[in-house]
Copies of this chain bind each other. A is one copy, B any other.
Amino acid sequence: MNESLISQRTLGVTFTNDSAVVRVWAPLAEAVSLRICHQDLVIPLQNDGAYWQTTTSQLKPGDTYTFILNNTTERPDPASLSQPESVHGPSQAVDTAQFVWTDSTWNNLPLESYLLYELHTGTFTPEGTFAGIEAKLDYFVELGINAIEIMPVAQFPGTRNWGYDGVCPYAVQNSYGGAAGLQRLVDACHRKGLAVVLDVVYNHMGPEGNYFADYGPYFTNKHRTPWGDALNFDDNYSDSVRRYFLENVLMWFRDFHIDALRLDAVHAIHDESELHILREIKQYVDQFMQETGRQYYLIIESDQNETRFIQPIASDGYGMDAQWNDEFHHALRVTAGGERSGYYADYDGIRHLAKSYRDAYVYDGTYMPRRAKIVGKPTGSHPGQQFVVFSQNHDQIGNRMLGERPSQLVSFSMQKLMAGAVMSSPYLPMLFMGEEWGELNPFLYFVSHSDPELIEAVRQGRKKEFAAFQTSVEAPDPQAAQTFERSRLRWERLTQEPHQTLFRYYQTLLSLRKKSPLRHPNRESVAVVMDDARQTLTLIRHHPNDAPIVC
């Protein structure tokens, strides 16, 4: 372990006293210079092995800058904290220490008490900014959740994107409010007793503004992902790529006071090293927690159903605190009716839902037809707080051609039943923004690229993806501003029926969850009685100190 990474960032620009320390990894470059834009000042960097660096008093917080590689190629900083002109423009030096935190009394919540609410900054409010979210903190408290999970905020091209096309993992999206805006939001959340989970993408980079290859072997063709060559976690040069992401993890906790990271699709992180990158991340976070005395969580998205990810470090696992459990969702949605195609084909409804209540994974060492192999491991004694469950999320809605939420697909009663099913589970429940009032607007797939070829490729890709549906309806254009606007929440519905009633129902459920035995995501406390003939499922939850609850 490189202890020096714990206390501060070492990549990009950091400020100490009146100087900026500048460091960039460019192992194959012959020369690297820093260019400070407004002065048009070019400062050559010194080569210290694979890294290039300098200390200068010329670069001040707020200044824009670039790196010039081999005296010819001018590029933004791969560890830029701010991209005021988006992904192609210069980087901007940020001193994260300038923010005055007021959350010193905040302590992260115990993971088992997390009640999650996933949101997309751009479409959550009319403003589409962190400030917009900040104005809704009282609303969260009123609803009864205690942790917001923010979809990725790494700088992406334009102003409309789910966030998974980000190309600057250290830079907070400028149109959302940038680094300072995120710090302000987290600080405000903490004052309201709300934890903040940030979704981060360590399995690929977006296609536009992706200048990494100019700097070094960030990618390897040893492994492939749905987005192309894999990020290089195990090939030649990989130590520096690993460090790049390790520092990123620590930055969110240390400099932004984020309480937990949600690591996107870790099954697309390819690493055959003896020390898996997730395990190494956990080792660094453990060290950071030890030094700060604070608590931070790592939550993964994984489709592997393999317990090694959530097994503690001490038991040779990767030590992740929790994982999303998509299978609970799939079984629930099939049970709720209407879903049988695509990935739903492997789930047969009530029987699998009962299985997921009992065993978390549906496939836990059993043959999965769509993958044509045995999938998963039994979850054994892993506690319920290691599994996040939901009846909907950005993917499950947005990956439908028309982005329909359950509110447009199932009856009002079924929406309530699904909410109850999630909330009464011995797992961590998560809502998707707007579900609590049955928002009717879709959540569509949208982008705002600037490269015409890429725009066309995304359009065609989307059309092709849904060609099999053979419907007369056209897939909405991902690049159209309207597609984004149609995906925005309509808060006025909160004052209308039946939305108001549903909202109160969610309030009641969340309140019940917090006051009853349900608050303990305790798998041993669950008895599941399935009546296949009547297609009913009875869930009995109890806890030593409380009366049992029958759902």
Instruction: Name A residues whose Cβ lies closer than 8 Å to a Cβ of B.
Output: 27, 50, 221-224, 236-240, 270-272, 274, 304, 306-308, 316, 370-374, 377
Contacts and interface: CB of A to CB of B under 8 A. Distances in A.
Contacts of A274: 304, 306-308, 377
Given A238-B373, A239-B372, A274-B306, 15 more contacts: A50-B372, A222-B224, A223-B223, A223-B224, A224-B224, A236-B370, A236-B372, A237-B371, A239-B373, A240-B373, A270-B272, A274-B304, A274-B307, A274-B308, A274-B377
Most chain-B CB neighbours within 10 Å: which of A27, A223, A240? A223
B223 A270 contact: yes
A376 to B, nearest CB: 9
A308 B223 CA distance: 21
A551 to B, nearest CB: 33
A271 B234 CA distance: 13
Contacts of A223: 222-224, 270
Contacts of A316: 316
A184 B305 CA distance: 47
Contacts of A374: 239
19 contacts: A50-B372, A221-B224, A222-B223, A222-B270, A223-B270, A236-B372, A237-B371, A237-B372, A237-B373, A238-B373, A239-B372, A240-B372, A240-B373, A270-B272, A274-B304, A274-B306, A274-B308, A274-B377, A316-B316
Contacts of A272: 270-272
Shortest beta-carbon contacts, A-B, top 8:
A239-B373, A237-B372, A236-B371, A274-B306, A223-B223, A274-B308, A221-B224, A236-B372
Contacts of A224: 221-224
Contacts of A27: 372
A472 B532 CA distance: 80
Contacts of A308: 274
Contacts of A372: 27, 50, 236-237, 239-240
A158 to B, nearest CB: 31
A11 to B, nearest CB: 17
Nearest to A373: B239
A233 B50 CA distance: 35
A222 B373 CA distance: 16
A304 to B, nearest CB: 8
A50 B372 CA distance: 9
Contacts of A222: 223-224, 270
A304 B274 CA distance: 9
A84 to B, nearest CB: 33
A223 B27 CA distance: 25
A409 to B, nearest CB: 28
Nearest to A371: B236
